[in-house]
Amino acid sequence: MCGIMGRLMRDPAEMARSVDPSVLGHRGPDGTGTLSSGPISLGHSRLSIIDLSSAASQPMTSPNGRHHLVFNGEIYNYRELRRELERGKWEFRTNSDTEVVLAALVLWRTDAFCRFAGMFALAWWDVDQNRLILARDRCGEKPLLYWQDGRELLFASEMKAMITLIPSRPEPDPVAYRAFLHLQYVPEPMTAVRGVRKLPAGTWTAVEPSGGEWELLPCRYWAVDQDPGICPTELGAAGAPVLIRDGLRTAVRRMLHSDVPVGIALSGGLDSSAVAAIAAQESGIRLRAFSVGYPGRPPYDERDAARGLASQIGLDLEEIELDLNAVEDGIPRLLRDLDEPVADIAAFAHAAVPRVAAARGVKVLLSGIGGDEVFWGYPWVSRQVRLNQRSSPSWRRSRWWTTFAGRGIKGLLDRCADSGRVPMSLSAWVSEFSASLDGYTPTDLMSFLGSTRDFRATADALACLGLDAAVAKSADVLLLSAADTCVSDRVPAAIMRMLFDTWLASNCLVLSDRLGMAVGVETRLPLLDGSLIDLVMALRRRIPDHGLKPKAWLRESMSGILPPSVLNRPKRGFQPPVTEWMRQYLRLERDNGQRGIAVAAGLVPAHWRRHVAAAGREHGGSRLLLAYKCAIFDLWWSSVVA
């Protein structure tokens, strides 16, 4: 796990100035390296996980000097690939997965990306072809940002590094700002800084300085909704959990391989418990686990559950109690560590575990992130499947839909659904039908983000607080995750694709990567193993599971491995003292007297920004949430960009 950065000049005759990877030293505290070759300059900061010797340092160059590589990530099947590459006559000089990546690119070219089981972001320079290739792993676990102005292309693992490379003064992107206010994160490929983009997950792109138009066109080599091309031999409903258990076991076994200590982030919930239980069986040694809790052990504190499971499966558990009084003091560091504006209140807990793990000498953590996304863990996502299957884009373009949406019936439906006097089954249907009339999603697209409660609450708060319609509009935000399928049996996969492309990539994986790498800890996610996801999606093509209880297949797969107390525990999610934490952000903003980048850049009027902050301090609910997100963006900009 590492950090990478680089500069490529458009004119092949122009020598690239050297980059300084020390700005990414937190991602790679074990050493830095640079290489300059004509129009290309590469930089690398190293976190040594596999092959700790200096021979595995980067940038890495092929024996003939033609190929240069900087690589951030881990390839879990590198030993299998190495044996195959050795048959292809590659003579290895190291035991690292980096050299396996380099050899695979030289021998298999871009076909190699489909063969990597792991997480990665890389830059590969071919001297003879005068071509740079950038690539990113399937789900987007590892970040890769870029900027170009026609004269040079800049790329880096993080925004903090990009800011040191960009020659012009950074400005906020107005569409990204609107997206952030609605979603609490900036969905890729956008970033919060104008002109800086993310290479989308599951894609690669080629840049040839001497070619024609210098335009980066990502080529997708994997997507969660594509046909995985596999036919599991056991396709009965009873067989799916067995295959899933075996697939998860293979993923965990691969991810346990490391030349440094491995630990487990254990919340006590199903996802992390599944990873922990299999890891305990497969590791061969007693592993250390870390669990977060709160003073006084309130009902939502899961440390007792985590401790009970750790004792049962043979883990050494260390409890981490969050100091709620220190939240305010930790805000600037947290925002800098995040590197991107993310208003997920769970960030403090995500940050606590790798910090303690690093202090204990643990450089690799296994985490259960991804289980909710792969196995229908969010009821609202399953609801989106039903909603779109019942109300196709053609229905939403019809006269009947216009009639319902335009005559105030939506408000009546919402009151009916929330009254408590309507039977639960009918209330759910009424709520779903009301969501289809949201008025935010363009009528020719599937409904997804626009019909979620948080999105609607933010949109309503923006309207109530008088933000100009041109600034508050949401259509361009929703187009970032648009899908237009109207075939009923394709809807579940399309919804899964939108979830992966938005919430997973730009919220969850930002937390897991940045907050671990901020302290030199690599986070590995077995539930996002590419082969496991392909297996699950192949099973779904024959046996749809979105109508079952949340994570039904995962629960069944862990029967006999996890105790009933874990398997039957209802999902709680992250439940800190949210309101108080948000108010601490607002107090920090007020005490610092910051004018804020949103006002300075003309994204919102100053009087509106003051009004939002005051309303947030005086009220709760959606207005507090909106004020909190406004504060997060301004504080993040001052911590990372300014």
**Mean pLDDT to the nearest integer, 542-547:** 90
- Our measurement of the distance from residue 82's CA atom to the centroid of its chain's CA atoms, rounded to an integer in Å, reads 29
Instruction: Note the pLDDT tens digit of each residue in 119-137.
Output: 999 999 999 999 999 999 9
553 or 466, higher pLDDT = 553
Instruction: Note the pLDDT tens digit of each residue in 20-58.
Output: 999 999 998 888 999 998 999 999 999 888 878 888 889
| Contact status, residue 444 vs residue 482, Cβ threshold 8 Å | no
Question: Per-residue b/e over 506-522, b at no fewer than 16 CB within 10 Å?
Answer: bbbbbbbbbbbbbbbbb
Instruction: Note the pLDDT tens digit of each residue in 298-343.
Output: 777 889 999 999 999 999 999 999 876 777 678 889 999 999 999 9
d(CA 164, CA 149): 16
What is the predicted pLDDT for the residue at 486?
A: 57
Query: Angle at CA 197, nearest 5°, toward 193 and 203?
Result: 160
Q: Which domains does the chain have, with CATH numbers?
A: 2-171+182-220 (3.60.20.10), 239-375+506-567 (3.40.50.620)
| Contact status, residue 371 vs residue 554, Cβ threshold 8 Å | yes
| Contact status, residue 212 vs residue 520, Cβ threshold 8 Å | no
Which range has highest mean pLDDT (24-33, 78-87, 225-234)?
Answer: 78-87
The yes-or-no verdict on residue 199 having pLDDT over 80 is: yes
d(CA 151, CA 582): 43
Show the 3-state SS of 150-210. CCEEEEECCHHHHHHHCCCCCCECHHHHHHHHHHCCCCCCECCECCCEECCCCEEEEECCC
What is the predicted pLDDT for the residue at 592?
A: 53
112 or 434, higher pLDDT = 112
The yes-or-no verdict on residue 409 having pLDDT over 90 is: no
Share of the chain above pLDDT 90, in %: 55
Least confident among 233-237, 474-478, 635-639: 233-237
User: For residue 496, which of 374, 377, 372, 369 has the smallest C-alpha distance?
Assistant: 374
Indicate the DSSP class of residue 639.
Answer: I
DSSP letters spanning 570-586: PP----S-HHHHHHHHH
What is the predicted pLDDT for the residue at 302?
A: 85
227 or 403, higher pLDDT = 227
Contacts 24+ apart (CB under 8 A), 98-103: 98/51, 98/56, 98/58, 98/60, 98/69, 98/71, 99/56, 99/60, 100/75, 101/69, 101/71, 101/75, 102/60, 102/62, 102/67, 102/69, 102/71
Indicate the DSSP class of residue 19.
Answer: P
**Mean pLDDT to the nearest integer, 87-104:** 93
pLDDT band at 222 (very low <50, low <70, confident <90, very high): very high
Least confident among 379-388, 434-443, 445-454, 527-536: 434-443
What is the token pair recorded at 202?
């599951």
| Contact status, residue 289 vs residue 310, Cβ threshold 8 Å | yes
Q: Cis (ω within 30 of 0) for the bond into 59?
A: yes
Q: Cis (ω within 30 of 0) for the bond into 143?
A: no
The yes-or-no verdict on residue 472 having pLDDT over 50 is: no
What is the token pair recorded at 163?
């800011």
